[in-house]
A = this chain, B = another copy of it.
Amino acid sequence: MARNIVSREKDYSQWYLDVIKAAELADYAPVRGCMIIRPDGYALWEFIQKHFDEAFKDTGHVNAYFPLLIPMSFLEKEAEHVEGFAPECAVVTHAGGEELEEPLIVRPTSETVIGHMYSKWVQSWRDLPILINQWCNVMRWEKRSRLFLRTSEFLWQEGHTAHATREEAVEETLKMLGVYRDIMENVLALPVLAGEKSEGERFPGADNTYACEAMMSDRKALQAGTSHFLGQNFARAFDISFQNSDGELDFAWTTSWGVSTRLIGAIVMTHSDDDGLVIPPRVAPVKTVIIPISPDETFLESDLLPRAREAQEKLNVVLGKRSVKIDTAFHMRPGDRFFANIQKGIPLRLEMGEKEFERGVFQAVRRDSGERFDIPWEEVEERVPRVLDEIQNDLYFKALEFRKQNTFRVSDLEGFKEVFAARGGFVEAFFAGGREEEKLIKEETGATVRCFPMDNDESGTCFFTGKPGARLAVFARSY
């Protein structure tokens, strides 16, 4: 076990912070609640971004940039929205040496300012749909912060679309939920439940919110992304109206959807172990590290390093530019060098000392399982990508299995309490309650409705109200 990382068993919260610190993903900023995303954390974010951005563009979306500062009065135009966000706002009151006439808030999300612009850009049905996404920083003031999971400033993308019909907007909301799920599962190796949120967990101003919910290794839930059907609420508030093809004036139907740097927290808490970070290969900036080891400098320079460079070049072609690193920390002891790379979460190590050199192989070590095996030099190009694919799959299925083993079905409140107190995890139950009932359940159990999973169409008697025909809900403690 790592000396600089406490075990999950002992203190999960501290383990999380230790893993991030050891991997140099992030650091707390001098401003309370804010973070610095360090190069290795940011490279991970760039890979996450790349996959989502490509999927957004493939589904017809374009990127744009809207201003950081929003007039306070904009927020107030949508009643639920201001109620939800005003308490978390950072406010600019002075600028250019003068007090401002109207205070400006640092965007907590951009529905309002984007709504304002859409009202200018949309006149006719021919101007619709608008399918815009924005990558940016947002600010929601936090008293208690936690790196990546809850910080006053974070990075995210926010998609904002406007449509001529309700059907089209609902379709978009669900389509983007599907895009999220696809990338979370197939790239980040995060099994997620995609589903509808309950009344009490809806986005302020939305008619309906959908989310992808993942189980962390402490059995708590993490909301990994959300997609909102905003109805005509923001269109009415900001007058996004248009002449439809029949010549009548109508309000547009809008959606918004987002994922954030929080996903890095999800990766940490899904895949990592007591030795430190584990990154799924498909999203790992460095997919393989080659570690030449010898106390003999001449041997290193004339034999090991040239071999390492040759393998690096070949692998960078198949795995992507800069995917393979050579560890050259020769001033450190071999054990410390292994450990540094383990804690960085690099999926595969290729170690090579004198013995391996003589046999013409690398000793490969999987980060996830610790499994060791030889890869002959001439087979690296073919074997390494295959091993990385195996690691990717294994990580996904391990997490999926963990979720299955920690998901329990209950049919009444007593059973709920008993199971949840003893085992935690996800509790499935038919539920037909509203905000009030959700509040009571949270008070009694500590659990909230995470979602009504989409791919489940069972119905039954509500475990709490006794109403028949209730949908299946998943409850959990959440981040």
Interface residues of A, Cβ cutoff 8 Å to B: 27, 29-31, 34-39, 41-43, 45-46, 57, 62-71, 74, 86-97, 103-104, 106, 113, 116-117, 120, 126, 132, 136-137, 139, 141-143, 152-153, 155, 322, 331
Contact = CB atoms under 8 A, between A and B. Distances in A.
Given A62-B39, A91-B93, A91-B95, A153 B30 contact: no
The listed residue with most B CB atoms (<10 A of its CB), out of A64, A74, A331, is A64
Copies in the complex: 2
Given A43-B63, A96-B143, 16 more contacts: A30-B113, A31-B69, A31-B104, A34-B68, A36-B64, A42-B65, A46-B63, A68-B68, A68-B137, A68-B153, A89-B96, A90-B92, A90-B96, A91-B92, A91-B95, A96-B142
Given A106-B92, A117-B27, A35 B69 contact: no
A216 B329 CA distance: 49
B35 A68 contact: no
A90 B94 contact: yes
8 contacts: A29-B113, A30-B113, A31-B67, A37-B64, A42-B65, A67-B153, A68-B137, A91-B92
Contacts of A35: 67
Contacts of A46: 63
A69 B97 contact: no
Nearest to A45: B65
A45 B155 CA distance: 19
Contact of A95 (B68, B90, B96): B90
Given A88-B96, A91-B93, A96-B87, A70 B36 contact: no
A66 B29 contact: yes
B91 A64 contact: no
A132 B62 contact: no
A42 B136 CA distance: 13
Shortest beta-carbon contacts, A-B, top 8:
A96-B141, A39-B62, A37-B65, A90-B95, A34-B67, A91-B94, A29-B67, A95-B141
Contacts of A45: 65
B91 A63 contact: no
A90 to B, nearest CB: 4
A176 to B, nearest CB: 17
